[in-house]
Structure 1
Amino acid sequence: MARILMAGLPAFGLANPSLPLAAALVEAGHTVDFLQGESFRQRVERTGATLIPFGFYLDGPLTDPRQLIRHGKRLFTDMSDAMIKLGPQYDAVVGTGIQPQLPRVERALDRPVICASPVFFQNDRTAKHLAAISTGLPAPARRLFRTPALRRAAAAVGGAVVFGTQLGDLINLLGPRSSTLNLTVASREYQPFPDDFPGAVFMGPTPTQRIPDPDFPLDRLRAHDGPVFYATLGTVFNTWTPFFRTIAEAFAGTDHLVVLTTGSQEGLAKLGDVPDNVIARAFVPQVDVLEHADVCFTHGGFGTATDAVTLGVPPVLTPMGADQFFNAYRLEELGAGTVLPKGGFTVESVRKAADDAMTGDRSGLNALRESFVAAGGPKLGVSAIEAVL
């Protein structure tokens, strides 16, 4: 059995998709050490891996894009330096999440250095296609992703400052980073133009790690006879309080049970009082809630969106930033979800979107769900890693 070092940034959207792979490696008999932030100790240790903490200058997970601007260069450099220093003690090194400096790590080590992406892979063709279908993406961003020269200029300006390395093209950050093995939690059906990435392994997503919450009233969801709706804006772009208030107002006084998670205690306090048929929490056990939900209102983060699809819950997607526009419009393109843009997010549109999601055609959702289930999951990733050892 092998000794494997995994490494990633302490951000929920980047770290959570890597945890099933860590658990599968441990289950297969390998020893896994995980270079991660101290705030992820519980999640890492639940996989059976051992945490090696770094990023001591952070007081918790990365939950604000400004943190990445402030600490990104140091975080990426410290992580990569540690991978290079510790790497000779291991049989393989797996860089998870965003890994701008992974080629540097690969050049410094004489053993397999593997890339495990938390999203689908990007190249020029995927960027142009996703920008074309993402009609709600702000015009400057659509132009940026459609124009190689602009992407290169952005990479030249921000690469060294934020990521500690030159990227060449901005989308290289989201492309395959290893010359040995590249894994992604997308399925071939979800990945645009999968044949553009020969040798890539499409594991398919695994539902977010379950962390029990004895204080959450799951029994209330189990006993409820009417529809159950779940709403979240994730842990980063979650400060738009009208999202939660509009959903609460749309279904106040109905037989619908609504679960809102604001992603922070500050957001929960800002939300204030809610109707009796609304459960509002800073955090909830997402998979447990989705197992009882009929519709998921979400920002379109990869984890939440794929959790919903995997569990057969139609998503209504209101992207806020980052990769959420691409995820949301890709799901809509595949007939697996509906985009409800922020500019049209009203009580009436929310009610209509919920009705349409519950009564509409689910063939696209079911087909994508089947592709997730059939993809192979983290066990496929383990087999691919073992093949290169």
Structure 2
Amino acid sequence: MNILFVNANLNGHINPTLGLVKKLTEKGNQVSYFCSESFSEQVTKMGAKWIGFSNKLDLFLKEYRPTDRHPFFMLMEYMLLYDEAVLPEILEIIKEDQYDMIICDSYFGGACFLKQIVKVPVVCSHSSFAMSKTPVPERMLVPGFHPQLDHCYQILKRICESYNIEEPSLEQVFTSKGDLNIVYTTQDFNGDDGVYEPDYLFAGPSIERIQEADDLDLSVVGERKLIYISLGSLNTAFLDFYKTCISAFRNTDYYVCMSIGKKCEVSQLGEIPQNFLVKNFLPQLEILKRADVFITHAGFNSVNEALYFGVPMLALPQVNDQHMVAKRLVSMELGMSESIKELSPETLRSKTEALIMDKKIKENCMKISREMRNLTESEQTVWKLEKFVDTWKERK
């Protein structure tokens, strides 16, 4: 197969796809991957050909400013404006080559519009929870409810008139259901009764991504319990939180690896205790292989990676789907959740120690770990994609 993969410029959307890209290319399929230049090495190492953004799309990503700050409508507005900017580029790429299938990110790829425009199957790549409905009540999608909502309807109408296609509902745009869909977790963890096979393929997390070189030596941990702390790669300006972590675990019998991101400096934390390793970046996958507890922002990708290795989590959600992820962890007894704003050293330490001692949570994490390993090690996702394309061609 000749496949076009469409994505954007965020770790949480691209990293989950890399394992799938590698499996596709290893099976002899050709994959062209459209994304920002910062991920060009990642995708080419997986065997794909990289296709970069135009200056126009780069400019949009840098200059976009929301018309208001409503959490849901701001996301919808961004999705729609991104779709409007990216669709001409995708269609130009398609003119230059004959593709058997397009796989596009559910937020960054315009799947809802593409499947009406192109004559090949459009598969949606869901880097977070796949949803069968919007997370807001229907009354909030009625025109006139909010000025930013009305702006979304204006963009939607403009896109559909440009391509002379039927106007989908905003719910259809948001849920972004393709002709087929890929979700990078288990069906159980996804937790939406309206999302099920065969329309959705549950592929498990990707652990194929390239990590920056790091002289990490975990032999210093010895027999101690290892606590891993990271708030991801975007919202990391939490200096007080990092100081709270040091206060909570200073000179304890635990060894702590703490990644603080690029918005704080290690020097701002004062003296680092001997049982701490603190850096702006740490190789997450390597640490998760050995970690006993993960204190996390509850990003969907990070959580799935931790579950792959059977690591219980203390979730400290901040934005977007992180609150949903944290609730899912708690409801499935895979971890605990706290507010980062109300966290004291005493609470942080007691919650972490409770997780270390909780045998039920550890058993549940190991159970879902086995399920995820079965999914990621299986060739079923690639086989089902190939079969889907063959069936599509026969039907057409």
TM-score by length of 2: 0.82
Match of 2:345 among 344, 347, 351: 347
2:146 matches 1:156? no
Query: Given that residues 310 and 365 in structure 2 are in contact (C-alpha distance below 8 angstroms), is that contact kept between their aligned partners in structure 1?
Result: yes
For residues 343-383 of structure 1, the C-alpha deviation after alignment (integer angstroms, 9 at most, x for no partner) is: 43111111111111111022322332233223356733212
Q: CA deviation at 1:176?
A: 4.1
Structure 1 residues 379-388 or 66-75, which shifts more? 66-75
Q: Specify the alignment match of 1:370 in structure 2.
A: 370
2:71 matches 1:81? no
Q: Specify the alignment match of 1:91 in structure 2.
A: 100
Q: Specify the alignment match of 1:142 in structure 2.
A: none
**Secondary structure of the structure 2 residue equivalent to 1:248:** helix
Q: How does 1:203-214 map to 2 (within 5 A)?
A: 203-214=202-213
Query: Given that residues 185 and 204 in structure 1 are in contact (C-alpha distance below 8 angstroms), is that contact kept between their aligned partners in structure 2?
Result: yes
Q: Distance in 2 between matches of 1:190 and 1:371?
A: 11
Q: CA deviation at 1:234?
A: 0.9
Q: How does 1:194-273 map to 2 (within 5 A)?
A: 194-197=193-196, 199-217=198-216, 219-221=217-219, 223-264=221-262, 266-268=263-265, 271-273=268-270
CA spacing shift, 1:333–1:112, aligned 2, 3 Å: same
Q: CA deviation at 1:97?
A: 4.4
**Secondary structure of the structure 2 residue equivalent to 1:312:** coil
Structure 1 residues 46-55 or 201-210, which shifts more? 201-210
Q: Distance in 2 between matches of 1:114 and 1:80?
A: 15
> What is the Cα-based RMSD across aligned positions, in Å?
3.1
Letter in 1 for 2:307: V
**Secondary structure of the structure 2 residue equivalent to 1:320:** coil
TM-score by length of 1: 0.83
Percentage of pairs with the same residue: 21
Q: Distance in 1 between matches of 2:326 and 2:154?
A: 29
Q: Distance in 2 between matches of 1:66 and 1:209?
A: 34
CA spacing shift, 1:221–1:149, aligned 2, 3 Å: farther
Q: Distance in 2 between matches of 1:385 and 1:321?
A: 33
Q: Specify the alignment match of 1:134 in structure 2.
A: none
Q: Distance in 2 between matches of 1:240 and 1:74?
A: 30
Q: Specify the alignment match of 2:318 in structure 1.
A: 320
Q: CA deviation at 1:87?
A: 2.4
2:121 matches 1:112? yes
Letter in 2 for 1:77: E
Q: Distance in 2 between matches of 1:247 and 1:65?
A: 35
Query: Given that residues 93 and 113 in structure 1 are in contact (C-alpha distance below 8 angstroms), is that contact kept between their aligned partners in structure 2?
Result: yes
Instruction: Structure 2 unaligned segments of length 5 or more: list them.
Output: 67-73, 161-166, 390-396
Q: CA deviation at 1:71?
A: 7.7
Query: Given that residues 64 and 237 in structure 1 are in contact (C-alpha distance below 8 angstroms), is that contact kept between their aligned partners in structure 2?
Result: no
Query: Given that residues 2 and 29 in structure 2 are in contact (C-alpha distance below 8 angstroms), is that contact kept between their aligned partners in structure 1?
Result: yes
Q: Distance in 1 between matches of 2:256 and 2:63?
A: 26
Q: Specify the alignment match of 1:388 in structure 2.
A: 388
Q: Distance in 1 between matches of 2:330 and 2:6?
A: 32
Q: Distance in 2 between matches of 1:31 and 1:37?
A: 19
Structure 1 residues 277-286 or 159-168, which shifts more? 159-168
Q: Distance in 2 between matches of 1:208 and 1:76?
A: 29
**Secondary structure of the structure 1 residue equivalent to 2:228:** strand
Q: CA deviation at 1:96?
A: 2.1
Query: Given that residues 131 and 192 in structure 2 are in contact (C-alpha distance below 8 angstroms), is that contact kept between their aligned partners in structure 1?
Result: no
Query: Given that residues 239 and 267 in structure 1 are in contact (C-alpha distance below 8 angstroms), is that contact kept between their aligned partners in structure 2?
Result: yes
Q: Distance in 1 between matches of 2:260 and 2:310?
A: 23
Match of 1:147 among 133, 137, 140: 137
Q: Distance in 2 between matches of 1:30 and 1:335?
A: 39
Query: Given that residues 221 and 255 in structure 2 are in contact (C-alpha distance below 8 angstroms), is that contact kept between their aligned partners in structure 1?
Result: no
Q: Distance in 1 between matches of 2:250 and 2:341?
A: 22
CA spacing shift, 1:356–1:280, aligned 2, 3 Å: same
Q: Specify the alignment match of 1:11 in structure 2.
A: 10
Q: Distance in 2 between matches of 1:242 and 1:171?
A: 39
Q: Specify the alignment match of 1:51 in structure 2.
A: 50
Query: Given that residues 92 and 111 in structure 1 are in contact (C-alpha distance below 8 angstroms), is that contact kept between their aligned partners in structure 2?
Result: yes
Query: Given that residues 104 and 111 in structure 2 are in contact (C-alpha distance below 8 angstroms), is that contact kept between their aligned partners in structure 1?
Result: yes
For residues 273-322 of structure 1, the C-alpha deviation after alignment (integer angstroms, 9 at most, x for no partner) is: 33232222222111001111111000100111111111011111000001
Q: CA deviation at 1:248?
A: 1.7
Match of 1:122 among 118, 131, 140: 131
Larger Rg: 2
Letter in 1 for 2:138: P
Q: Specify the alignment match of 1:140 in structure 2.
A: none
Q: Distance in 2 between matches of 1:105 and 1:46?
A: 28
For residues 38-81 of structure 1, the C-alpha deviation after alignment (integer angstroms, 9 at most, x for no partner) is: 01112111211111011546889x89996998986664334322
Q: CA deviation at 1:324?
A: 0.3
Between the two proteins, the alignment pairs up a number of residues equal to: 365
Query: Given that residues 207 and 310 in structure 1 are in contact (C-alpha distance below 8 angstroms), is that contact kept between their aligned partners in structure 2?
Result: no
Q: Specify the alignment match of 2:394 in structure 1.
A: none
Q: CA deviation at 1:270?
A: 7.5
Query: Given that residues 7 and 96 in structure 1 are in contact (C-alpha distance below 8 angstroms), is that contact kept between their aligned partners in structure 2?
Result: yes
